[in-house]
């Protein structure tokens, strides 16, 4: 299950006892506080706390007190300017703390983004739950023939069933042995910090992850991209929904300039200028490698 009964009771208690505050709040984010949004088969994302809003970004950029004298339309224009020109520190004035439950192999990808504060559930002190990520049949695919770190065609029929059965059986067997090793029933039992090495990478872990908005946008640009691995992309997509309600001006600018935009090399820009003039540009006369040309064509659609 995504949430334990104890966690659900804690959330219900927190939501039932709101506290008065003098700090700026984002109504959209207030609606999300503590709620767990399911991801994958046993995972979730929920907001524990946050600081700042769109106005905080503008306040930092202007280094002014309060909301100042600028209009809302000017705030949105300023945020778009900051995003367009790759300013970072104003966006760092906003922070968010998330509670995330995710498979270990996804966590190992996620932790590559080192510009955050993380505290993970410890299998040295506690016993991990018997919960494993088993992909749905529509996400069981062969190795890509053009991308060494991606998926290709879906596995179907008996082959897909065979793979899923192996994943389920190996996960169950590894956890059975884990329980047997740490058991103190008639034996001393192996230390948890050693027994955990036998657990598979698809077992679920949990952590608190605190990050500022600038670095969160960098994370989302990479992990919510269509080329990101599905299992981490669905977490990023769920976080995108939260951020859109938290800082709507900043998120719209992010969608426009980062998610919907593209960064082109000087060579690529030169090719576009030549195309606009009516010249026929090919990979052979573009000055690009085959890989660069393929990506360039992808950007142009």
Catalytic residue among 223, 252, 258, 294: 223
| Neighbour tally for 211: CB within 10 Å | 22
Quick one: which of 79, 103, 102 has its CA closest to 90? 79
The alpha-helical segments, DSSP class H, found in the chain are: 5-16, 27-30, 54-62, 72-84, 104-110, 157-182, 192-195, 213-223, 230-246, 248-254, 266-276, 283-286, 290-300
Distance (Å, whole) CA 246 – CA 52? 9
Helix axes 266-276, 290-300, angle to 10 degrees: 60
Distance (Å, whole) CA 154 – CA 136? 11
**Is 223 annotated in the active site?**
yes
Which tokens sit at 195?
A: 């027994």
List Cα–Cα distances, 221 to 64, 214, 216, 244, 259, in angstroms: 30, 11, 9, 14, 6
Distance (Å, whole) CA 216 – CA 94? 10
Q: Which residues are catalytic?
A: 223
């Amino acid at each position: 299950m995504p949430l334990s009964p104890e966690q659900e009771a804690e959330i219900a208690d927190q939501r039932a006892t709101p506290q008065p505050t003098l700090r700026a709040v984002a109504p959209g984010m207030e609606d999300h506080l503590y709620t767990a949004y399911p991801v994958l088969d046993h995972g979730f994302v929920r907001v524990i706390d946050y600081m700042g809003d769109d106005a905080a970004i503008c306040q930092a950029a202007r280094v002014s007190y309060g909301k100042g004298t600028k209009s809302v339309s000017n705030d949105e224009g300023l945020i778009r300017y900051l995003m367009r020109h790759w300013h970072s520190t104003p966006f760092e004035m906003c922070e968010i703390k998330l509670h995330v439950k995710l498979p270990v192999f996804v966590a190992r990808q996620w932790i590559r983004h080192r510009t955050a504060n993380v505290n993970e559930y410890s299998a040295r002190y506690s016993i991990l739950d018997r919960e494993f990520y088993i992909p749905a049949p529509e996400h069981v695919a062969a190795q890509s023939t053009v991308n060494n770190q991606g998926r290709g065609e879906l596995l179907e029929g008996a082959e897909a069933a065979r793979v899923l059965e192996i994943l389920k059986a190996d996960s169950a067997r590894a956890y059975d042995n884990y329980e047997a090793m740490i058991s103190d029933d008639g034996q001393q039992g192996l230390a948890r910090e050693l027994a955990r090495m036998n657990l598979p990478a698809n077992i679920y872990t949990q952590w608190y992850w605190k990050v500022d908005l600038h670095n969160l946008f960098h994370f989302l640009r990479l992990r919510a991209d269509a080329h990101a691995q599905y299992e981490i992309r669905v977490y990023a997509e769920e976080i995108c929904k939260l951020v859109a309600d938290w800082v709507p001006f900043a998120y719209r600018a992010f969608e426009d300039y980062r998610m919907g935009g593209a960064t082109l090399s000087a060579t690529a820009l030169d090719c576009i200028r030549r195309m606009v003039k009516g010249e026929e540009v090919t990979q052979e006369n573009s000055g690009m490698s085959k890989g660069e040309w393929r990506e360039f064509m992808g950007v142009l659609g």
